[in-house]
Amino acid sequence: MKADWARLADPRKVSKEEGDRLAVTLPALAWMAYSIHGDEMSGADASLAMAYHLAASIDPEVINLLANLVVIIDPLMNPDGRDRFLAMQAQNRTVQPSVDDQSLLHSGMWPWGRMNHYLFDMNRDWIFATQPETRGRLRAVNEWNPHYFMESHEMGPQDTFLFMPGREAINPNQPDNVRKWELEFAKDQAATFDARGWRYYTGEWSDDWYPGYSSSWSALRGAVANLYEQAGIGTDAVRRPEGTLESYREAVHKQLVSSMANLTFLAKNRQAVLNDFLNEKRKCVGPQASIPARTFAIPRSPNGARNHRFLDVLSLQGFEIYEAGGAFTAPAKDRLGLQTNEMKFPAGTWLVPTRQPLARLLNAMLEFDPHTIPQFLTDERRDLLRFGRTRIYDITGWSLPMLFDVQTFEIPAGVPPDAQAKAVSFPVTIASPVTNIEASVALVIDGADDASVAAAGRLMERGVWVRVGDKPFQFDNHDFARGSVVITRKDNANFTADLTATVSNVCADLNLTAVGVRSGYGPGDLPDIGGEHFVLLRPPHIAILGREPIEPYSYGSAWHLIDHVLGLRASYLDTHNLQGTDLRRYNVLVIPDGESAEGLKDRMEALKAWATAGGTLVAIGSSAATLARETNGIGGTRQLSDILGKMDDYRQAVVREWEALQTKPDPEKVWSFSPPAEVVYPWLIGESDDKAKDEELKRKDSWRAIFMPAGALLAGRVDDRSWLTAGCGEYVPVIYSGKTVLSAPPTVQAPVRLGVFSPAPAKKLAKPASSSGAKSKDKKKDDKKKDETKTPPGWTIAPPGYEMRLRMSGLLWPEAADRLANAAYVTRESVGSGQLILFASDPTFRAAALGTSRIFANAIICGPGMGANEPIKP
Ligand SMILES: [Zn+2]
């Protein structure tokens, strides 16, 4: 039967008649999944009652139901979270009844029971599959191809019961059959609740924009989806405002009644549901396919770890992937939205066409820039202005090529025939861990690969001295990227174990190759092995602050990266005990995001003293904002809102960085014996906002602040002279949320700033050039002047001839764009012998922000050697 369901899900595998016949004869497959949030317990308990009822009942209704359906029950999606919450309940158990939902017995404690072991919300992980629970589930769902998919939750204890359908914003890829049947199921479920006098609702806060929830993800696979949200009754009962008690038993009962009602309704409508499922698949693939054909093209990059992560998640989702057998040319759009008519792609480019059975999911995961319906923008803006709150339940931008930072192009057609595409399957083979073993000078691991940073960390843990190249270099005719790890035999003269074997083991674990080199001579201007460009790293001793007021998600994703991905030892500290903690044991301290990191204020002197003595202090989001303060802060980085009247200095830093990147001095002017008649300044002069009164500036900024993004993808331009950005391309997509806007003065480095400069479209440039005749020179000058005065050089400055591209995907209001343009995403500055590294938004977001995770990994592993100054131990 599994094979038949698979054929129903792929119309290429059956004739039309056979497909139609299967839709009539096959039972429908219902997937009932409970309690992905461990402290939302009633669903898991209801699932056991349902399993018993379905297995034991001799009721004709149940027998009829089972004749029409196969029911798969995933009774408890999050055992770790449930265990944690049950332990909290045991610890807070009282003899006297406790029906106050604010009491610890009901509420639990940091980090609560919602998330899994590493504190990930698994109900956001379906598109990224970073957690083992999700990975197992994806394989199982792909094997069974469900037609109905229910996820059960709990919400606030004073709430009632919610089910599907959701309200706008709805992901534009959601199939029509899903929407149609969600409404039918809702009517039936409402009648079931009405019959018992139970209160319920649909929509309201429940949107369907982000595709990584259980129900949204399964709907994009074609299953009719449902979501239950029952009032959360931790245990016993909860007192309601009208004085009644809602008991835990009632919570379980509502989950059970809902489950049975939905299954009965599905059994009754089996044929129609299956027929619509098949017709939806026929729109995606096969001779009747009607969805627009397009292909995502991914040229191979030297970042093996990144390629692997990306292709792994695509293949785990069940997408069909091809590889170009030859070079080919096609029109293409890049991730910044820039079009090229004849883009050349090399052989080996990976190709993912959308016309395949999982077309909708594939589109939702990979497409660059989905838009909501216009009405949603109106509603959202009204809510922001009227109530200061957003209607968006989760993030608005998640496109995997951006979040994973994998260079990807969209071709507006199927796979080009020239590409000679052939299907590929994963995983791909592992390369040899060490080549050219006999080489006497050094072993080098290419820094283009994200795993090279983990290798550096793991080697140092084993007592190996490593260096990192801060520029690209070439040894023995072999090119190595910035950030490459160099293990010289000379540095490791005292290493007692077998150096080559140690490097080989570490590389084998990380799927890396270390290349032996016989010479450290860099041809031409390229760095040589003994110069300043190969910096000796200091073994990092990492500590990370946790518990309140730290945000569990931010803590969890940093913990996961350090412990699970990088595979390094670290200490996990209690922020409240910071006062009594001997920080001298560590040379790297990470403060994850924390809304109320205000609590750090009275620890500031200790943190500053520690950093000054040589520590690398890394802070994220709100915690970064707390450190970026004029009074009681550390360093020179500031929050934008604090420097509104003094923007000139900060703007100057932006201009200097850009000039340093672009400068092309005119030798004639440089070697002139006379001073110039006029100095050309690289910034535009005009009516500056700064000259306005302080109150006006504050008024404007608080207006812009209303519209800050809830998780949009922005383009960050990369300073390739910073060791922090090793492994990044010219720009890095960053996921941005929260209120922190960092401003770096010229004394502070900003390795990543928001906004990428690209040449302005020809039309705009052509305007002054097309002005006629000999007077054009003066005219140009006049035009320029006019343009200057009309373009207020606010924070959104762009160099002449360029325009800024900032928003990549997701909702970014123009007001917020104006506030964020040119702001720093990462800052680095020296503090005494140590350094301060601030991230404006979470770099390790959901273990899926791979571009910015690399910068974070560089910070914590290379930081003690690259940016801090540790003494030689005598
Ligand atoms: Zn939940």
Look-up of token digits 């096609």: 330
Residue 167's φ and ψ, nearest 5 degrees, are: -110, 175
Q: How far, in Å, from the CA of 121 to the mean position of ligand 1? A: 9
Residue 153 Cα to ligand 1 middle (Å): 4
Q: Cα(846) to centroid of ligand 1, in Å?
A: 17
Answer yes or no: are the C-beta atoms of 484 and 512 closer than 8 Å.
no
Contact criterion met (CB below 8 Å) for 421 and 322: yes
| Angle, in degrees to the nearest 10, between helices 270-284 and 248-268 | 80
Q: How many A from CA of 117 to the centre of ligand 1? A: 16
Distance in Å, CA 339 to ligand 1 centroid: 41
- In this predicted structure, what is the pLDDT of residue 762? 63
What would the mean pLDDT of 481-507 be, rounded to a whole number? 97
Task: Please name the residue that has the structure tokens 């990227």.
Answer: 481
Cα 480 to Cα 472: distance, rounded to the nearest angstrom: 6
Say if CB 115 and CB 81 are below 8 A apart.
yes
Residue-level pLDDT at 485:
98
37 Cα to the center of ligand 1, angstroms: 5
**How close is the Cα of 861 to the center of ligand 1, in Å?**
36
Ligand 1 centre to CA of 115 (Å) is 10
Q: How far is the CA of 843 from the centre of ligand 1 (A)?
A: 25
Chain segment 215-271, per-residue pLDDT in tens: 999 999 999 999 999 999 988 999 999 999 999 999 999 999 999 999 999 999 999
Residues 6+ positions from 450 with CB-CB distance below 8 Å:
303, 305, 306, 727, 850, 853, 854, 857
Residue 106 alpha carbon to ligand 1 centre in Å? 15
CA-based torsion, 111, 113, 118, 124: positive or negative: negative
What is the distance in A from the centroid of ligand 1 to the CA of 38? 8
Query: How far is the centre of ligand 1, averaged over its atoms, from the C-alpha of 231 (Å)?
Result: 11
The answer on pLDDT for 427 being more than 90 is no
Collapsed DSSP state (helix, strand, coil) of residue 74:
strand
User: Residue 684's pLDDT band (boundaries 50, 70, 90)?
Assistant: low
- Ligand 1 centroid vs 34 CA: distance in angstroms? 9
Which pLDDT score, from 0 to 100, does residue 303 have? Answer: 96
Helix, coil or strand: residue 802: strand
Calculate how far, in angstroms, residue 99's C-alpha sits from the geometric centre of ligand 1: 21
| Distance from Cα 156 to the centre of ligand 1, integer Å | 10
Environment of ion ligand 1 (residues, CB < 5 A): 37, 40, 153
Give CA–CA dist 586/596, Å, rounded.
Answer: 24
Going from the Cα of 182 to the center of ligand 1, the distance in angstroms, rounded, reads 19
Calculate mean pLDDT across residues 531-537: 97
C-alpha 116 – ligand 1 centre gap (Å) = 12
What global pTM score does this model have? 0.94
Q: What is the pLDDT of residue 773?
A: 41
User: Chain-wide mean pLDDT for the chain?
Assistant: 92
237: Cβ contacts below 8 Å, ≥ 6 apart: 97, 99, 245, 246, 247, 248
Alpha carbon distances (Å) from 334 to 316, 352, 802: 25, 15, 18
- Of 246, 250, 55, 225, which is closest to residue 146 (Cα–Cα)? 225
**C-alpha–C-alpha distance, residues 298 and 410, integer Å:** 9
Q: Which helix (H) or strand (E) holds 505?
A: helix 499-510
Q: How far apart are CA 851 and CA 836, in angstroms?
A: 20
> 732 alpha carbon to ligand 1 midpoint, in Å?
32
Find all residues with CB under 8 Å of 575, minimum gap 6, and list them: 545, 546, 547, 548, 549, 550, 594, 599, 600
Asked which of 547-551, 765-769, 869-873 is least confident by mean pLDDT, the reply is 765-769
Distance, CA 708 to ligand 1 centroid (Å)? 26
Backbone conformation region of residue 243, classed left if phi is above 0, alpha if psi is from -120 to 50, else beta? left
Look at residues 517, 497, 496 and name the one whose alpha carbon lies nearest to residue 434: 517
The pLDDT-based confidence of 776 (bands split at 50, 70, 90) is very low
> 123 CA distance to ligand 1 centroid (A)?
8
Residue 39 CA to ligand 1 centre (angstroms): 8
Query: 500 CA distance to ligand 1 centroid (A)?
Result: 49
* DSSP H or E stretch at residue 184: helix 176-196
Distance 318 CA to ligand 1 centre (A): 26
CA angle 575, 578, 579 (to 5 degrees): 145
Q: How far, in Å, from the CA of 166 to the mean position of ligand 1?
A: 15
Cα 150 to averaged position of ligand 1 atoms, centre (Å): 12
The 514-517 sheet, strands edge to edge = 434-435, 514-517, 442-445, 485-488, 467-469, 534-536
Q: What is the mean pLDDT of residues 593-613?
A: 84
**Which whole number is the average pLDDT over 791-795?**
42
Ligand 1 midpoint to CA 36 (Å): 6
CA dist., res. 546 & res. 554, Å (int): 9
Distance 329 CA to ligand 1 centre (A): 47
Q: How far is the CA of 478 from the centre of ligand 1 (A)?
A: 52
* Distance from residue 151's CA to the centre of ligand 1 (Å): 9
CA atoms within 13 A on the CB side of 521: 5
Share of the chain above pLDDT 90, in %: 81
Cα angle: 29, vertex 32, 38; to 5 degrees:
155
Cα of 94 to ligand 1 centre, how many Å? 26
The angle formed by the CA atoms of residues 730, 731 and 734, to the nearest 5 degrees, is 160
Q: How far is the CA of 229 from the centre of ligand 1 (A)?
A: 7
Model confidence at 612: pLDDT above 60: yes
Q: How close is the Cα of 155 to the center of ligand 1, in Å? A: 7
* Per-residue pLDDT at 596: 63
Tell me how far the alpha carbon of residue 720 lies from the centroid of ligand 1, in angstroms: 42
Higher pLDDT, 801 or 485: 485
Going by their DSSP bridges, the two strands 473-475 and 742-743 should be labelled as: unpaired
Ligand 1 centroid distance, CA of 188 (Å): 23
**Ligand 1 centroid from CA 806, angstroms:** 33
Ligand 1 centroid to Cα of residue 404, in Å, is 26
Q: What percent of the chain is modeled with pLDDT above 70?
A: 94
User: How far apart are the CA of 248 and the centre of ligand 1, in A?
Assistant: 16
Among 627-641, 761-775, 816-830, the minimum mean pLDDT is found in 761-775
Residue 569: is its pLDDT beyond 70? yes
Q: For 93, how many CA atoms within 13 A lie in the half-sphere containing its CB?
A: 7
CA of 230 from ligand 1 middle (Å) equals 9
3-state SS of 83-121 is HHHHHHHHHCCCCCCCCCCCCHHHHCCCCCCCCCCCCCC
Helices (H), 539-579: 552-560
Cα(208) to ligand 1 centroid in Å equals: 15
Expressed in angstroms and rounded, the spacing between residue 563 Cα and the centre of ligand 1 is 26
> What is the CA(43)–ligand 1 centre distance, in A?
10
Predicted pLDDT at 791: 37
